[in-house]
């Protein structure tokens, strides 16, 4: 068995995935379109080892059990079955940004884990197949196997496949991540989606609106139209959060709303800036390279913004190191 180390970047959905189709495979109820971001990364090493009594997970230097380990084992079980191996694995993973707090650590985490596990088990799988494996653990992770702008399909009849739409340079885009807290979020995306699906009076409207916005964002990306993409991305985020909030699922904080007000104030001044928000309080501001400096200065003054990460469209998950067979 060999040891394989992979680096993967989180992705930020411009068109949000929120809600599952039902049935097996963790297929989304709506299509989504994201951008993979360099500037934040997860590095994961997987080693299958006959000497281990069970799978081990070390996350950011600490041994982790319970649900995070169970999710890792579920992915490893698929790989073991396909590769016909019995050995348990040691998984050592590190994020250079806050974990489980709405900054897409599960996207980069499961993308890195899927690729590292497949390669460590000597499986010669295509990218889409590795992406399909990652989606089963966390749907947004399917997108981080690819770089640039990536669409993940969803809804009735969709295979649940992520595919690249355009390379990292398709639009002049930078993403300023306004970190509002270093803490983990209170409601996981999976749980937030479940409650939304079961109880939001606006869920049916979201199922109509989400795909329309996704198609407009795809067109905007292909046309290199920053403003069209920014406008629809902000709408997608607000529609998702409105739908979730109506079910009592609230991820935004006062800091998120203050940052949103600042983004809108900037637009009124002619600065190219749009907002998107995921399952956590951190606002992500979409800017052009030209508007980045002004936007960053202004967002840094928003009360509650702890720090700002500068990110830009980047590559998909890739192998950093493959150790020798033992």
Question: Toward ligand DP6, which CB reaches closer, 28 or 168?
Answer: 28
Min separation Cβ 16 and ligand DP6, Å: 4
Nearer to ligand DP6 among residue 43 and residue 138 (C-beta): 138
Q: Which is nearer to ligand DP6, 6 or 152 (CB)?
A: 152
Q: At what angle do helices 105-120 and 66-83 cross, to 10 degrees?
A: 30
* Geometric angle at alpha carbon 116, from 4 and 174, rounded to 5°: 110
Alpha carbons 240 and 103: distance in angstroms, whole number:
16
Residue 129's nearest CA partner among 159, 156, 109, 151 is 159
Residue closer to ligand DP6, measured from CB, 17 or 146: 17
From residue 10, alpha-carbon distances to 21, 36, 314 in Å are 23, 6, 10
- Residue 72 three-state SS: helix
By C-beta, is 3 or 132 nearer to ligand DP6? 132
d(CA 294, CA 101): 26
DSSP 11-70: EEEEE---SB--STT--BSS-EEEEEEETS-EEEEEEEETT-SS-EEEETTEEE-HHHHH
Which of 31/168 has CB closer to ligand DP6?
31
Provide the total of helices (H) and of strands (E) in the chain, helices listed first: 8, 14
Q: Is 230 in contact with 172 (CB distance < 8 Å)?
A: no
Q: Report helix, strand or coil for 247.
A: coil
Contact (Cβ atoms closer than 8 angstroms) between residue 207 and residue 31: no
Nearest distance from residue 6's CB to ligand DP6, in Å? 18
Q: What is the smallest separation between the CB atom of 94 and ligand DP6, expressed in angstroms?
A: 19
**Closest distance between ligand DP6 and the C-beta of residue 305, in Å?**
20
Token output for 30:
């709506």
Task: Catalog residues that contact ligand DP6 under the rule CB under 6 A.
Answer: 13, 16-18, 26, 32, 106, 138-140, 189-190, 278-279
Q: What SS3 state is found at 184?
A: coil
Q: Which is nearer to ligand DP6, 32 or 41 (CB)?
A: 32
Instruction: Kindly tell me which of 153 and 278 has the beta carbon lying closer to ligand DP6.
Output: 278
Per the CB < 8 A criterion, the answer to whether 68 and 251 are in contact is no
Whether residue 286 contacts residue 230, with contact meaning beta carbons closer than 8 Å, is answered with yes
Smallest separation (angstroms) from ligand DP6 to the CB of 20: 7
| CB-nearer residue toward ligand DP6: 42 or 138 | 138
Own/partner pairs, 62-71, CB within 8 angstroms, 24+ separation: 71/110, 71/137, 71/138
Residue 187 C-beta: closest distance to ligand DP6, Å: 11
Q: Rounded to the nearest whole angstrom, what is the least distance from the CB of residue 298 to ligand DP6 in the complex?
A: 25
- Report the nearest approach of ligand DP6 to the CB of residue 1 (Å): 28
Q: Closest separation between CB of residue 3 and ligand DP6, Å?
A: 26
- Looking only at the bridges linking them, the beta strands covering 3-8 and 42-49 are antiparallel
């Amino acid at each position: 068995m060999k040891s394989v180390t992979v680096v993967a970047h989180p992705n930020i959905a411009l068109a949000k995935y929120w809600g599952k189709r039902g049935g097996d495979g963790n297929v989304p109820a709506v299509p989504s379109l994201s951008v993979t971001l360099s500037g934040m990364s997860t590095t994961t090493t997987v080693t299958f080892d006959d000497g281990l009594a069970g799978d081990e997970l070390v996350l950011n230097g600490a041994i982790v059990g319970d649900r995070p380990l169970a999710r890792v084992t579920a992915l490893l079980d698929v790989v073991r079955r396909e590769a016909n191996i019995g050995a348990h694995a040691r998984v050592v993973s590190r994020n250079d940004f806050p974990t489980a707090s709405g900054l897409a650590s599960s996207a980069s985490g499961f993308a890195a884990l899927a690729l590292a596990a497949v390669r460590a088990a000597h499986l010669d799988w295509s990218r889409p197949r590795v992406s399909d494996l990652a989606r089963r653990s966390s749907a947004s992770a399917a997108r981080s196997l690819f770089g640039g702008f990536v669409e993940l399909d969803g809804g009735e009849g969709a295979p649940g496949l992520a595919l690249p739409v355009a390379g990292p340079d398709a639009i002049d885009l930078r993403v300023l991540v306004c970190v509002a807290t270093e803490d983990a979020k209170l409601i996981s995306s999976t749980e937030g989606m479940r409650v939304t699906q079961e109880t939001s009076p606006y869920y049916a409207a979201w199922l109509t609106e989400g795909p329309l916005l996704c198609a407009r964002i795809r067109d905007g990306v292909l046309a290199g139209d920053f403003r069209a993409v920014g406008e629809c991305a902000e709408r997608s985020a607000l529609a998702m959060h409105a739908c979730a909030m109506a079910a009592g699922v609230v991820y935004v904080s006062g800091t998120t709303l203050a940052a949103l007000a600042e983004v809108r104030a900037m637009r009124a001044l002619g600065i190219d800036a749009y907002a998107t928000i995921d399952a956590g309080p951190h606002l992500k501001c979409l800017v052009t390279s030209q508007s980045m400096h002004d936007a960053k200065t202004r967002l840094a003054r928003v009360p509650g913004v702890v720090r700002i990460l500068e990110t830009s469209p980047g590559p998909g998950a890739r192998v950093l190191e493959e150790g020798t067979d033992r």
